[in-house]
Each structure stands twice: as C-alpha cells, then as structure tokens.
C-alpha cells in the first residue's frame, strides 16, 4: 500500500522483495537524502547524481508516471514492477562501472537542468542575512537553489530561497531551500506582497490563482521578505 510513488517508496518495496539492488548503499542513501532534503543538497560532484537522474529522466516520461490518484485506489503492481526493473538496470550499470544508455540519459537530464538553471537565473539578492535567487522561466524552476556554475560571482552557491516568475502561468513562487525552517513563512510573505488570496505553505507559496504577474513584481517579494524579518 502506497500513498505515492517515488524512489523512497520504491526502496521500501524492493527491500520487502529482498531485491539485491538494495545493496547499493550509496544509491539509496542519496535517494533518502533527496527525499528529506531535496536534490539540491546532494554534492554536485557526486557521481551518484547521474544514476538518480537516470531514474528521474525515465520517470518523467508520462508513460512511466503513476497517475494522480485523487479518489479511491489504483493497482500499481505492473507499473511498480517496471520501475523496479529500471532501478535494477541502473544499479546494474553502476556495478559494472559502465557508462551505457542509462548513464547517458542521466547525464543529459542533469545537463538540461543546468541549462534551465543558467537560462532562468536573473540575480542574487540579499535580504538581511538571506541570499535569494530571482528567476524567470516558462517552466517550474523553484527547485533550482544553486547559482549557475558559469556565473563569475558565487558560482554554485546554495541560496536560501528562490523567487521565480513562471511566464507560462504568470505566477510568482517563493520557495525556501530548507523547507522554511527559521525563515519567514513563505505563505505570509506572499500574502504580505500580493494580498490574502496568495497561498501555500511555510516552505513554498505562490501568488493568487489566476492572476498574472511580470518580472518587476519579483521586487515586491523581496520587500515583503524584508518586512517579515
């Protein structure tokens, strides 16, 4: 019985199956860290990232994605077996030290993420002791907490938060790298900036649904954070 399908849940399933792929401690430790802290907390130079990315790339394909179960139940047995098979293949490739098709898919996924990181990055701002990246993109980039590696200053720096404008939806999102611990509530910040219809949680919140915003509005979030400190 699962509430959702991710690497962590699959690790639980595979452990109960007695699967030998669970012996890859480095892979599963990294998967656990991602589950708790987010992928941005992994060491950027750790080769296990490519293996995890190989899974993420495959799992992002709609054909491999678990449906969003909003009512009742979904029998995911066949789907989970496919995920387990893919993970076994990735770990098998790791064991052999090879850099086959799965490794290449993972590397391509990470390269695409870095390209998105570079293309969406606007500025590194400081509010009090907090460092924040502002971003603009046509896709979701609120999870990109590292300054692009090709920036002259602060390359690779892990920021405290991201303020991102999604040009597809017109929404602005504030996200805290640590989930909001010892930070002004993201929801309260966004409500201070855009009114009570803005909403979310402690760690991530957005502008009111349906309303659209522009790049200049990113400044309002910075001001609101300052007022909430």
Partner 1 sequence: MLKSIIIAADKAAAMKYIEDTNFTDSSAAVEAEWGTEALEVSDHDGVVAAFNHHGPRSGNPPGLPAQLLRSLPGAHCAQPSGS
Among 45, 73, 96, 196, binds partner 1 (CB under 8 A): 73
DSSP helix/strand/coil, 218: helix
- Residue 171: name the closest of 194, 148, 145, 192 by CA: 194
Among 70, 96, 182, 196, binds partner 1 (CB under 8 A): 70
Q: What is the CA radius of gyration of the chain?
A: 19
How many Å apart are CA 215 and CA 71, to the nearest integer?
Answer: 38
Stretch that binds partner 1, among 64-72, 93-101, 142-150, 193-201 (CB under 8 A): 64-72
Residues in contact with partner 1, shown as a per-residue x/- string from 13 to 52 under the rule CB under 8 A:
x-xxxx---x-----xx--xx-xxx---------------
- Distance of closest approach, residue 73 Cβ to partner 1, in angstroms: 5
- Does 55 contact partner 1 by CB under 8 A? no
Looking only at the bridges linking them, the beta strands covering 130-137 and 161-166 are parallel
Q: Which C-beta is closer to partner 1: that of 85 or that of 100?
A: 85
Partners of 205 in the beta sheet? 174, 200
- Residue 4: name the closest of 82, 70, 88 by CA: 70
- Does 158 contact partner 1 by CB under 8 A? no
How many Å apart are CA 107 and CA 88, to the nearest integer?
Answer: 18
Q: Which C-beta is closer to partner 1: that of 2 or that of 59?
A: 2
Partners of 146 in the beta sheet? 158
Number of residues that bind partner 1 (CB under 8 A): 35
- Does 86 contact partner 1 by CB under 8 A? no
Residue 146 is classified by DSSP as: B
- Does 1 contact partner 1 by CB under 8 A? yes
Among 49, 77, 87, 98, binds partner 1 (CB under 8 A): 77
Distances (CA, A) of 61 to 57, 66, 103, 214, 227: 7, 10, 17, 31, 42
- Distance of closest approach, residue 79 Cβ to partner 1, in angstroms: 8
Contacts with partner 1, residue ranges (CB under 8 A): 1-6, 8-9, 11-13, 15-18, 22, 28-29, 32-33, 35-37, 66, 69-77, 80, 179
């Amino acid at each position: 019985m699962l509430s959702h399908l991710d690497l962590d849940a699959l690790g639980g399933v595979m452990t109960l199956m007695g699967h030998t792929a669970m012996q890859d401690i480095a892979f599963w430790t990294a998967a656990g860290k991602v589950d708790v802290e987010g992928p941005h907390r992994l060491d950027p130079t750790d080769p296990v990232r490519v293996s995890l990315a190989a899974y993420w790339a495959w799992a992002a394909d709609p054909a491999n994605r678990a449906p969003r179960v909003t009512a009742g139940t979904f029998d995911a047995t066949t789907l989970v077996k496919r995920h387990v098979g893919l993970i076994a293949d990735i770990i098998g490739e790791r064991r052999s030290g090879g850099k086959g098709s799965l490794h290449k898919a993972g590397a391509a996924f990470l390269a695409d993420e870095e390209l998105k990181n570079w293309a969406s990055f606007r500025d590194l701002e400081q509010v009090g002791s907090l460092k924040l990246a502002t971003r603009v993109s046509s896709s979701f980039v609120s999870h990109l907490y590292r300054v692009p590696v090709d920036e002259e200053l602060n390359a690779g720096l892990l920021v405290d938060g991201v303020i991102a404008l999604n040009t597809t939806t017109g929404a602005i999102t504030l996200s805290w790298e640590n989930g909001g611990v010892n930070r002004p509530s993201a929801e309260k910040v966004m409500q201070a900036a855009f009114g009570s219809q803005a909403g979310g949680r402690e760690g991530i919140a957005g502008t009111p649904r349906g309303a659209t915003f522009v790049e200049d509005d990113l400044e309002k979030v910075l001001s609101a954070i300052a007022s909430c400190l």
